[in-house]
A and B are shown apart, each in its own frame.
Chain A
Amino acid sequence: MPDLGKYADAVLGSYAVSIALIVAIVALSLWRSKRVKAELERVETETSGQANTR
């Protein structure tokens, strides 16, 4: 760990905030992607099932 001296709070705070925001946007994007993909598969199964029963 480098010696950050009297600016340690500012430097570590910047890294903590930035990494937290990056992790948050990546996690949110992946979570929504997974949810929408599952939803599309469900709707496609539903609609193809309906078409087959007609």
Chain B
Amino acid sequence: MSFWEYANPKKFMETSSWLLPWVAIGSLLCLVVGLIWGFFFTPDDFRQGSTVKIIYLHVPSALMAINAWLMMLVCSLIWIVRRHHVSALAARAAAPIGVTMTLIALATGALWGQPMWGTYWAWDPRLTSFLILFLFYLGYIALWEAIENSDTAADLTSVLCLVGSVFALLSRYAVNFWNQGLHQGASLSLDKEENVADVFYFPLLVCIAGFVLLFVALVLIRTRTEIRARRISALRARQRLNDTSPSATPKEA
């Protein structure tokens, strides 16, 4: 069986219909367990106090904000190279979820920044590149809405996605590129020395799993909706064509 079979809308609808409930249940379980564990059963940090509890929302949402755009990038490349409609529709479906994740990361970052840095906002490299990523998300959604022809919209938004990927990667690595600003380095690392302490690390992993599964569940729901909306447009176009074709006009007696 080939991966490209899922580019067939019928196959995608079949597979996603049985996959969706499992992903949704997994997401709900991980989010409930991870957030309750993190909020109620982890200690305060010796420096940051109780604000460390914001990590269970801030890190997973920031991670998904960047990865949602990277998923859109892969889908856009598939659209550009292979012209599979499902991939273009999946990219379109992911954008509102990505913008929500970016907004959560920006809001929780600001609320965390105020007590720790003394300000809600600073023109720090990571914060600024994240704000630009947020604006790219808005532009991407607006471009899809502005163009009536779905193939043209998919072409143009794919190009926008390629350009925006620079900022998605920049927001991930800004701390490494410019060793300045308020934002600290990555909270998660393969190097155990750089990682957050185990007591915060495990509930954080559960929350990240919850956010990843939530993203997948929402992408599946929204892609299914986009496929259905596309079918409505196709049926209406066919209906219009039938109405205006000569065979549709009644014969005179």
Question: What is A's interface to B at a CB cutoff of 8 Å?
Answer: 2-8, 10-11, 13-15, 17-18, 21-22, 24-26, 28-30, 32-33, 36-37, 39-40, 43-44, 46-47, 50, 54
Q: Which of B132-140, B156-164, B184-192, B229-237 contacts A (4 or more CB under 8 A)?
A: B229-237
Q: A11-B54, A39-B232, A43-B232 known; A25 and B100 CB under 8 Å?
A: yes
Whether the Cβ atoms of A17 and B104 lie closer than 8 Å is: yes
Q: Which residues of A contact B119 (CB under 8 A)?
A: none
Q: Kindly state the separation between the CA atoms of A22 and B14 in the bound complex, as whole angstroms.
A: 26
Residue of B214, B228, B238 contacting most chain A CB atoms (<10 Å): B228
Q: Kindly state the separation between the CA atoms of A13 and B54 in the bound complex, as whole angstroms.
A: 10
Whether the Cβ atoms of B49 and A5 lie closer than 8 Å is: yes
Q: Total interface residues on B, using CB and 8 Å?
A: 39
Interface class of chain A by DSSP: helix
Least CB distance, B197 to chain A, in whole angstroms:
17
Residue B218, interface by CB 8 Å: yes
Q: Kindly state the separation between the CA atoms of A50 and B39 in the bound complex, as whole angstroms.
A: 58
Q: Scan residues 161-180 of chain B and give those whose CB is less than 8 A from a CB of chain A.
A: none
Choose one: B103, B232, B239; the contact of A40 (CB below 8 Å): B232
Least CB distance, B123 to chain A, in whole angstroms:
21
Whether the Cβ atoms of B49 and A47 lie closer than 8 Å is: no
Q: Kindly state the separation between the CA atoms of A25 and B52 in the bound complex, as whole angstroms.
A: 25
Nearest chain B residue, comparing its CB with the CB of A40: B228
Whether the Cβ atoms of B218 and A36 lie closer than 8 Å is: no
CB pairs A–B below 8 angstroms (8 shown): A2-B39, A2-B40, A14-B112, A21-B103, A24-B100, A32-B222, A40-B228, A50-B242
Interface class of chain B by DSSP: helix
Whether the Cβ atoms of B225 and A36 lie closer than 8 Å is: yes
Whether the Cβ atoms of B239 and A46 lie closer than 8 Å is: yes
Q: Which residues of B contact A5 (CB under 8 A)?
A: 44, 49-50
Whether the Cβ atoms of A10 and B221 lie closer than 8 Å is: no
Choose one: B218, B242, B248; the contact of A26 (CB below 8 Å): B218
Q: Which residues of A contact B67 (CB under 8 A)?
A: none
Residue B53, interface by CB 8 Å: yes
Nearest chain A residue, comparing its CB with the CB of B100: A25
Residue B114, interface by CB 8 Å: yes
Q: A43-B235, A44-B235 known; A33 and B104 CB under 8 Å?
A: no
Q: Which residues of B contact A21 (CB under 8 A)?
A: 100, 103-104, 107
Q: A11-B53, A24-B100, A25-B100 known; A18 and B228 CB under 8 Å?
A: no
Choose one: A7, A18, A40; the contact of B107 (CB below 8 Å): A18
Nearest chain A residue, comparing its CB with the CB of B55: A14
Whether the Cβ atoms of A33 and B57 lie closer than 8 Å is: no
Choose one: B50, B225, B239; the contact of A8 (CB below 8 Å): B50
